[in-house]
Amino acid sequence: MTDLHGRVALVTGAGRGQGRSHAVRLAELGADIVAVDICRDIPSVRYPMASPDDLAETARQVKALGRRIVAREADIRDRAALRAAVDEAVAALGGLDIVVANAGIAAFGAGDPDQQFRDTIDVNLVGTWHTLEAAVPHIRARGSGSIIVISSSAGTNGKTSGISGGSQAYVASKHAVIGLMRNYALDLGRHGIRVNAITPCGVDTPMINFDRGNSLAEEAVQLSWDLSNVIPVPYIQPGDISDAVVWLASDASKYVTGVVLPVDAGYALK
């Protein structure tokens, strides 16, 4: 059984969805948690973002498992604020071993294409870079660790591009974070730090199903996007991605670095 006792994990976008699932699963296996979320809406994003109450619920679930958690509201686009939050949490918990750079947005649909593009790149790419930059000095001090970047099946193909500034930026940013992952993997390997990426297909979270009957998946059908999977499921669940996260975080993958791991029901095969 995977044992993460004695380790500390940073999870961004931890207020709900995949982020909460990753935080809770890591805590179930013994890790203490640094949970970060913006906890406010971004105007170019159509669906409501996580709230302070959502982040508090993540903290409640982690504490119910007997693990420590430091939960902070921070915008990953704000490098100084994010670094301050991470530094404070690491000081409280005694170190940092695992990073799950999960926070991201999808600013699809009607709206100002310039604003959608900039916001998406700023969150998904620049924010991921800020996360790694804030975390790496703490992990390097440990002498080993694991960084996991959550990309997307859109990060290995362009099937959702060409509709709006936001969708074009989503595809571009998810490709770009894979390049970022590879660069960090090359740089940090000598320090015993592994860096990998996961590329999920559609995951049943509020980003996709923000309103049953008004979902990105239904919009995709109307626009003739093919978002179907080879394994015939419409979505996978956040816990399916968490399974991959805990494997990459654990010693079971101690020689795995620089890889792109599809957890996508075969979507990338098409």
For residue 217, give the nearest of 238, 199, 202, 239 by alpha carbon.
202
- Which of 170, 184, 235, 267 is the catalytic position? 170
Name the packing angle between helices 52-64 and 17-28 (round to 10°): 20
Is the CB of residue 202 less than 8 Å from the CB of residue 227? yes
Q: Where are the beta strands (DSSP E) in the chain?
A: 8-12, 32-37, 69-73, 98-101, 145-150, 193-200, 260-263
Which residue carries 């961004």 as its tokens?
12
Query: CA distances (Å), 112 to each of 40, 117, 173, 174, 223, in order?
Result: 20, 9, 18, 21, 19
Calpha distance 157→66 (Å, rounded): 41
Give the N- to C-terminal CA distance of the chain in Å, as an integer.
34
Q: Is 170 assigned a catalytic role? A: yes
What tokens appear for 32 in the block?
A: 């203490």
| Residues tagged active-site | 170
